[in-house]
Structures are given as structure tokens and as C-alpha cells.
Amino acid sequence: MGTLGLDLERGLFLGIDFGTTNSVVSIFNFEGGEAQTIPIDGGNIFPTAIQFEADPENPEKLSRIFGVQAKEAAIIYPESTVLSVKSLLAGEETVKITVDGKEHTFAPKEVAGEILGYLKQKADEYVQDELNLAGEFSGCVITVPANSTDKQKKMTKEAAVLAGFDEESVFLRLEPAAAAISYAVTETNNKKVLVYDFGGGTFDACILEIKSDDGGEPVISILSTYGDNSLGGNDIDKLVMDMVYEEFRKLTNCQIDLFDENADDGVSKRQKKVAVMRMTQAATQAKERLSAAKTTKVTLAPLLQEPKIVSINLEVNREDFTAHKRVNRLNDTEEAFARFEGKSLEDMLDSTMKCVDSCLEAAGLSPGDIDEVFLVGGSSSITMIVDKIREKFGKDPFKSKISPALSISQGAAYYCNMIMMPTVGAPVVTERTIHPLGLEIAGRRFMEIIGAGVEIPKEGLVVESEELLSTNFDGLTSMAIVVYESTSPKAREKNVTVNAEGMKRLAGTSLRGIPQAPKGQEKVKIIFQVGQDNMLKVIARSKSSGGVVTELSVDELYN
């Protein structure tokens, strides 16, 4: 890999699949002309986990443990360990951990930045020590779910900057497109492909068309995407956990609630946290084993020691797992449990297939038009998924030499190649907008400016609103500019209001300094600009000669 010592035009870039449960990093090997996954702490798959503990040299400071060690430490120290931080990036919830009785609070992007910083550090060490490459990674390509919101992407980008990557060298690309690249460069051309991407925290369906240009390089066009940011492998883990908890309830005559830390049932808060974490990890392992075996055992001996010893020794077979319907709330929010209560594995997988149907419909295709189905993400190894794919498309999923768990990161590495050496031939990917984008107008109605599935040119997409905004009252000198994103088909109907299901408020500002005039006389033009990573900038411009202009960078203003 010595050719990496060439004078790269944009520095050295790292391809990162930053997952809810696990993360993978890869680099493009110029000598071999292919992507190479970099092992972190001895393994290609790195648990997205961090544990905080008191610094032995300075108790006022915190030290960090990452990856496998942090995941294992979660069983003993659940109150100081953070798992699945990616799922928090879009919300307002803070991360709270307790170390030696003292509570510490972090923003989710700070925790994500710590984990990404560790991945960067280990990747730097690997290429320096193992590949004899001087320098370090200045930039990265991080993949994001196809159905991710603008805010999730913005928070991911900020986390990468906190990790030590140069801000102008952080690029975001869609997970299904990255996966398709890793397959297309070695396996297939001139085909329509469905990427079925089932990760730990999200599900995405994406249809791509892969062709070859005159030089034999793949040209990949995204025809449609559809997904569910609230459905992932973690939710399937909870089906097994629900079965284990039902066994626990029988053994304790329903007298102990492990998920109510304030209940007076003789079990300490700490013991409950440890028990829940052990159940969580045991359920995940059992689910993984059931992908290959028809039966497995969940043994937790003991699970509790106070007020009495409670041990779990439960045999789970694939049929029972498939048929089990969720009964207990566990540690879900009320909203999340309402969605999954009474649902089985088949119900959840049927939800993914509904996303596939929406994806086909958006692309104007039928199942018979799809040449290959690529399975991506660790959760896609579930046996029933293959059955569902075979039933709908009449064929088995495509079998690749690349592991579904590594394909996204390796695809990101091919993106890195395009950035590091833009004069060298490489796959070309045509990106499209994922969700309709628009403004709130009078009556709290949504005015769509950019629709879903609009192709984004390499230089970016610029769309002017067909309809000019106008002042609603005499003498107005300012106008509110509030940007929304429509993430649900129900919100894409005409005359929809901004408080409808699936409408997400992205940002808001005011256009100030509008010349005073009678009602309706002053007009305002709105311009939306979307980059290749689907990040949005909005420009509002008063049309009068004495008018004003305001720019709203949506990736900077979130409320």
C-alpha cells in the first residue's frame, strides 16, 4: 500500500459507517485498487459504545473506555456507559452518566464525537504502524441513513468535527448508496438494485440503477429511497428480551419491576440497572444465534441476588421467537411501546416490506423490475428476511463476497477515493433529495419548494419558489421564514398543515428591513440550495429595489 504515499490532492480520508450498534472504518487501497477495512482493537466491527470512569491520576476528570471493553463494562457499570448514542442525535435529550455518585451531562454530539475521535486515533495508528504511512486522517466520509433528517446529518457532521476532522473535509453520504458502490465495483453492472438496509437503529430501502460509463466505471443513480428511523435491530432484540422478562415475571410472581427504579420491591436501583443491561446483551446474543440455529438458551444465573436469588434458564427456539408478540414496555418510551405493543417479528419485518413497497412505488417500478436485492446491516441476517425477499421478488438476495456488515464502510472508502484523487476514474453516484422541503405559510400550511427524488447535480441543487410570499398586513417590516421537512407520505398531500404527522420543523429566522407598504405589495422570493449531502441553505430576498436579503443556513439554526 506504499502508493498511499503519493501526493494526495485532498489529504487522507477515512470511510466511516457510524452505526447505532456497531461501527466500521475503511480506507481506499490505491495499490490494490480496492477498499480495505481497518481493524480497530483487533476486530473489523467496533461496538459503538463508550464508558466513563474517574481518572486515577485526577479524580476530578473522567477517562474513557471504548468499544468491546465499554460494551462489556456496561454489565457492571450501566450508569456510566453509553450505548446507541446515534439514536439520540436528532432529539433534544441529553446524555446523563453517573461516575462515583456524581452525575455528568453531555450533548449527544459530544459523546458521538468522543467515539469518532477514538476511531480516528486508532485508524491513524494503524496506517502509520502497519502501512508505514506518515500523517493522519484529515477528512472523512460518514454514511447516514437514507431517511435521516437534516438535523441528524448536521449533528453527525458536528460530531466529526469534535472528533478532530477538518470541518471542510467532512462529507456525508447515504448508507444504501455506499453499500451499492462496494458491490457495483466488483460484482454487477447495468442492473436495477434494491438495497435492503436493516441496521441496529434504522431501516432503509433504496432503489438504484447501476450502469457502466464508456470507461467501464459504474454510474449509480438513486431512483428512490424510503425508510423508518424508528425501526431497527434493537427493536427485534427487545422481542427476545420481552420473552426473557416474561420468564422473570413468572419466577417472581410479578412482584419485581426491573424497569421502575423507584418501586419499593426490595431491589436497589443499581442492581436493576445491571440486571437490565445483562438481559439486553443476552437477548442480542440470542437473536444473533437464532439466525443460524433453530434453538438457543438464555442463561442468567443469577440475574438477581436480592431480595432473593432469581436465575433465568430459558430455551428459545426460532418458532417461539418468530411468533412472540411484545407484551412489556421494558425501557421504551410510551410512544415507542405503543408502536410495538402486540407486534411480532413478522409484523416488524412486514413494516420493512411496506417501506420497500413505497420505495418501488416512488421509483415507478414493480418487484419484477428489480434485478438484484442487496442485504445490508447486521439485522439483515435474520432468516425470515430471506424468505420475505424470495416471496416478493422471486429470487434470493444477492450473495456477495463482502460481508453485509462491512459493505457500507467500504463503499464510503470508495467515496474517499473520489475525494482524495478526483482526477482518477471512480464510480459516479447521482444523489437525489430524500424528503420534500418547504415553508410554513398563512394558515400554518406547508408550501413545498423542493420535492422528494429530485436529482442533485454535482455542483448542488438550486430551486426558486414558484410562488412569491407577500406581506399579510399594511406596513410590515419583517417576515417569519420557517423551514419544514416532510418525512411521511401522509404529509405530502396537498393543503397539508405543518403540524401534520411527519412534518419536521428544521429552522426559523426573520427577514427584517422590508420597506413599509400596503398589504400584499411587498413580495419575497425564496431560494432553496441543497448540496450533495442533502444539507440545506435557504435564501429569502425582498423583491423591491430597497429590499433586503437574509440567508438561513439550516445546518446552523435548529430550535
Walk along the chain (559 residues) and give the pLDDT tens digit of each residue: 333 444 455 678 999 999 999 999 999 887 777 889 999 999 999 999 999 999 888 878 999 999 999 999 999 999 999 999 998 987 778 999 999 999 999 999 999 999 999 999 999 999 999 888 878 999 999 999 877 877 888 899 999 999 999 999 999 988 888 888 887 776 656 899 999 999 888 898 989 888 887 777 778 888 888 888 889 999 999 999 999 999 999 999 999 999 999 999 999 999 999 999 999 999 999 999 998 899 999 999 999 998 889 999 999 999 999 999 999 999 999 989 999 999 999 999 999 999 999 889 888 899 999 999 999 887 888 889 999 999 999 999 988 777 888 999 999 998 898 888 776 666 777 777 878 889 998 889 999 999 888 888 878 899 998 888 888 889 888 888 899 888 766 555 667 899 988 788 887 878 888 888 899 888 888 999 887 666 788 888 888 766 677 666 554 433 3
State which fold the 2-186+403-430 domain adopts.
Answer: Nucleotidyltransferase; domain 5 (3.30.420)
| Domain residue extents for the chain | 2-186+403-430, 233-342, 433-553
Of 180, 282, 174, 236, the residue nearest 385 (C-alpha)? 236
Give the span between the Cα atoms of 378 and 37, in whole angstroms: 16
Q: Tell me which CATH code domain 433-553 carries.
A: 2.60.34.10
Please choose, from the candidates 133, 128, 108, the residue with its C-alpha nearest in 3D space to the C-alpha of residue 31. 133
DSSP letter (8 states) at residue 541 = E
Residue 12: Cβ within 10 Å count: 22
DSSP type of residue 265: S
**CA 299/CA 297 separation, integer angstroms:** 6
Give, in words, the CATH class of 233-342: alpha beta
Cα 282 to Cα 86, 285, 511: the distances in Å are 22, 5, 55
Whole-angstrom distance, CA of residue 238 vs CA of residue 234: 6
Reported pTM: 0.84
In whole angstroms, what is the distance from residue 418 CA to residue 28 CA?
10
Q: How many CA atoms lie within 13 A of 411 on its CB side?
A: 31
What CA–CA distance (Å, rounded) separates 461 from 360? 24
Nearest residue to 52 (alpha-carbon basis) of 105, 126, 15: 105
Distance from C-alpha of 495 to C-alpha of 516, rounded to nearest angstrom? 30
| CB-based contact 22:50 (threshold 8 Å) | no
CA nearest 415: which of 201, 184, 128, 86? 184
Cell, residue 321:
421467537
SS3 for 338-360 is HHHCCCCHHHHHHHHHHHHHHHH
* C-alpha R_g of the chain: 25
Instruction: Centre a 10 Å sphere on the Cβ of residue 426 and count the other Cβ atoms it contains.
Output: 20
CA distance 104 to 555: 27
Grid cell, residue 379, equals 439485522
